[in-house]
C-alpha cells in the first residue's frame, strides 16, 4: 500500500505493508507536530501501525535525507540577518554610542535579526507547521516605553527585506512582534525545530568584535543542518598567516548538512569551498580557542589543561560560535568552554556550531565525554563544560580536562 506521511517539513511517500488501512492528510490545523497528538489526522491507527510509522521516520532520518531546501532558506535568512546586524553595528561604532550600560542598540539588532529569520523561514515553508526555538521574546518590546524601539526594529527589518528584492513585503509592528514570538518553541526529541541565536556574542557585537548569527535545524532530536554567519570573521585563517595569500576579505559564512560536509563562503557571496578540521595529532602543536569573556568560561582551567597537554601557543580568545567556524577550517585545534558550576547551556549557543565542526571531521563532548544532546528542549543537559577538537586529539584532551578538574577541586 502506498501512503504519504507528513513529518515536520516533509511529506514522504512510503510503500509499506501496513496492518490496517491508514488515511493520511496534510495536518489540517497546522499545529506544531511535536507531541503524541501530532497525528490526529491519522485514522484507524493501530499500535503496530504507529510502531511502523516511527520506524519509517527513524529510517528516514538515519538515511540522511536531503535538507537542501531548508539549507538554502537558512543561508538566505542568516545572510540577510547578518546584513541587518552589520548595519546596526556600523551605526553603533560610528555614532560612538556603545556605552556598555546602554543595551538598546544591541536589543534592536537582536530583535531585528530574530524577526527577520523567523519571518523568512515561515514564508519559505508555508504549508508545514513552523517551530522555532530562539533566544529572544517580545515581552519587553510590548511595553509602552518601547514604542520607538519597536518602530526602529520594524524599519530595519523592512529595509533589509528591500535589499534582497522583497520590495512588495512590508511588515507591521504587530507582524514583527509575532515573528519574534514564533521563537517560543520548546524543541524536543520529535519533529523538526529551527534553532536560532539571532546574535551570538552580544558582548563582542558591542565591542565591534566577533559575533555570529547561528541557525540550525533539529529533526527527531538531531542537528541536521547548521549555518553560521560571522560578519567580522576574516575569510582567511585568523591564526595561520600565509604571506603568499593577500586575502583581506572579512565576513565568513559556514554551513553544514548531515552527511554532506561543511563548507565556507564569504558573506558577500564567493563560491563555497569544503573545509576540514586540522589533522594535527601532537597536542604541542595545537592552539586553542576560548571565550573572550572570562565570566563565560574559566581561563584558569583552560590554561592548566593547555600546560598539561604541552600546548605552546597562547589562547585565541574570541566571542561567539565564530570559534566553531574557525575550528572547522583548521584555524585552531581545540575549543574549550568551562562555565561556572550550575550554568545551563542553551541549545542555540551550540547547535549550528556543533554540526559545522562535526561535518568538518571534528568531535564535541561534555567534560564527562558524553556527546551533546540537543533533544532535551531549550537547554543542553550536560556535565558542565564543552570541549571540541579533532578525533585524534580528543582522548588526550579529555584526559587532561578530567585530571585538571580533579586537581583544581582538590586544591580548594
- The annotated binding site is made up of 135, 197, 199-200, 349
Q: Any contact of residue 219 with Mg ion (CB under 5 A)?
A: no
Q: Packing angle between helix 104-124 and helix 147-163, nearest 10 degrees?
A: 50
Q: Which residues, 6+ apart, have CB-to-CB distance to 100 below 8 Å?
A: 206
Is 110 considered catalytic here?
yes
Residues 338-357 that bind Mg ion (CB under 5 A): 349
The number of CA neighbours under 13 Å toward the Cβ of 1 is: 12
Q: Please identify, using beta-carbon distances, which residue of 205 and 288 lies nearer to Mg ion.
A: 205
Q: Any contact of residue 200 with Mg ion (CB under 5 A)?
A: yes
372 DSSP 8-state letter: P
Q: Which residues of 168-194 are buried (b: 16+ CB within 10 A; e: fewer)?
A: eeebeeebbbbbbbbbebebbebbbbb
Following DSSP, what letter does each residue of 296-348 receive, concatenated? TS-HHHHHHHHHHHT--SPPEE--STHHHHHHHTTS-SEEEE-PPTT---BGG
Work out what residue 118 binds among Mg ion, ligand A3P, none; the CB cut-off runs from 5 to 8 Å by kind.
none
CA distance linking residue 359 with residue 71, whole number of Å: 14
| Cell numbers found for residue 16 | 509499506
Following DSSP, what letter does each residue of 196-244 receive, concatenated? EEEEE-HHHHHHTS--EEEEEEEETTEEEEEEEEEEEEESS-SS---TT
Q: Any contact of residue 302 with ligand A3P (CB under 6 A)?
A: no
Q: Please identify, using beta-carbon distances, which residue of 89 and 158 lies nearer to ligand A3P.
A: 89
Q: Any contact of residue 293 with ligand A3P (CB under 6 A)?
A: yes
> Which candidate in 49, 110, 278, 319 is catalytic?
110
Q: Please identify, using beta-carbon distances, which residue of 49 and 320 lies nearer to ligand A3P.
A: 320
CA distance linking residue 380 with residue 240, whole number of Å: 33
Q: Any contact of residue 122 with ligand A3P (CB under 6 A)?
A: no
Single out the residue of 349, 360, 386, 397 in contact with ligand A3P (rule: CB under 6 A): 349
Residue list for the binding site for Mg(2+): 135, 197, 199-200, 349
Least Å from the CB of residue 128 to ligand A3P: 27
Residues 175-194 vs ligand A3P: string with x where CB under 6 A? --------------------
Single out the residue of 118, 257, 278, 291 in contact with ligand A3P (rule: CB under 6 A): 291
From the list 182-190, 279-287, 299-307, 342-350, the region that binds ligand A3P by CB under 6 A is 342-350
CA distance linking residue 87 with residue 163, whole number of Å: 12
Q: Please identify, using beta-carbon distances, which residue of 128 and 386 lies nearer to ligand A3P.
A: 386
Least Å from the CB of residue 236 to ligand A3P: 22
Single out the residue of 234, 261, 272, 339 in contact with ligand A3P (rule: CB under 6 A): 339
Q: Any contact of residue 359 with Mg ion (CB under 5 A)?
A: no
How many CB atoms are closer than 10 A to CB 66? 14
Instruction: Give the Å distances, CA to CA, from 83 to 109, 159, 249.
Output: 10, 10, 16
Is 202 considered catalytic here?
yes
Q: Any contact of residue 296 with ligand A3P (CB under 6 A)?
A: yes
Active site residues: 110, 202
Return residues touching ligand A3P (CB under 6 A).
Answer: 135, 197, 199-202, 204, 291, 293, 295-296, 319-320, 339, 343, 346, 349
Return residues touching Mg ion (CB under 5 A).
Answer: 135, 197, 199-200, 202, 349
Amino acid at each position: 500500500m502506498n501512503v504519504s506521511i507528513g513529518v515536520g517539513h516533509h511529506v514522504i511517500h512510503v510503500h509499506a505493508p501496513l496492518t490496517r488501512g491508514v488515511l493520511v492528510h496534510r495536518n489540517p490545523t497546522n499545529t506544531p507536530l511535536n507531541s503524541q497528538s501530532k497525528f490526529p489526522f491519522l485514522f484507524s491507527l493501530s499500535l503496530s501501525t504507529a510502531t511502523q510509522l516511527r520506524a519509517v521516520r527513524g529510517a528516514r532520518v538515519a538515511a540522511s535525507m536531503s535538507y537542501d531546501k531548508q539549507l538554502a532558506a537558512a543561508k538566505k535568512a542568516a545572510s540577510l540577518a547578518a546584513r541587518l546586524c552589520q548595519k546596526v553595528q556600523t551605526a553603533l561604532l560610528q555614532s560612538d554610542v556603545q556605552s556598555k550600560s546602554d543595551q538598546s542598540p544591541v536589543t534592536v539588532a537582536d530583535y531585528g535579526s530574530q524577526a527577520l529569520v523567523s519571518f523568512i523561514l515561515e514564508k519559505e515553508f508555508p504549508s508545514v507547521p513552523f517551530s522555532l526555538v530562539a533566544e529572544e521574546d517580545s515581552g519587553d518590546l510590548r511595553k509602552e516605553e518601547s514604542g520607538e524601539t519597536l518602530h526602529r526594529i520594524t524599519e530595519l527589518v523592512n529595509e533589509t527585506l528591500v535589499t534582497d528584492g522583497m520590495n512588495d513585503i512590508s511588515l507591521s509592528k504587530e507582524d514583527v512582534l509575532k515573528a519574534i514570538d514564533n521563537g517560543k518553541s520548546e524543541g524536543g526529541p520529535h519533529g523538526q525545530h529551527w534553532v536560532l541565536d539571532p546574535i551570538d556574542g552580544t558582548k563582542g557585537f558591542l565591542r565591534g568584535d566577533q559575533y555570529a548569527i547561528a541557525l540550525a535545524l533539529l529533526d527527531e532530536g538531531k542537528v541536521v543542518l547548521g549555518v553560521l554567519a560571522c560578519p567580522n570573521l576574516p575569510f582567511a585563517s585568523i591564526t595561520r598567516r600565509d604571506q603568499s595569500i593577500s586575502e583581506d576579505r572579512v565576513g565568513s559564512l559556514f554551513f553544514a548538512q548531515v552527511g554532506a560536509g561543511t563548507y565556507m563562503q564569504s558573506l558577500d557571496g564567493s563560491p563555497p569551498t569544503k573545509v576540514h578540521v586540522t589533522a594535527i595529532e601532537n597536542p604541542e602543536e595545537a592552539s586553542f580557542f576560548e571565550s573572550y569573556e572570562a565570566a563565560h568560561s574559566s581561563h584558569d582551567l583552560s590554561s592548566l589543561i593547555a600546560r598539561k597537554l604541552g600546548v605552546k601557543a597562547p589562547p585565541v580568545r574570541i566571542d561567539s560560535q565564530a570559534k566553531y567556524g574557525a575550528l572547522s577550517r583548521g584555524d585552531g585545534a581545540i575549543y574549550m568552554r568551562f562555565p561556572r558550576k550550575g550554568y545551563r547551556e542553551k541549545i542555540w549557543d551550540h547547535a549550528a556550531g556543533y554540526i559545522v565542526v562535526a561535518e568538518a571531521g571534528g568531535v564535541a563532548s561534555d567534560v564527562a565525554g558524553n556527546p551533546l544532546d540537543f533533544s532535551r528542549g531549550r537547554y543542553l543537559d550536560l556535565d558542565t563544560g564543552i570541549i571540541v577538537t579533532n578525533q585524534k586529539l580528543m582522548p588526550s584532551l579529555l584526559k587532561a580536562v578530567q585530571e585538571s578538574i580533579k586537581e583544581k577541586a582538590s586544591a580548594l
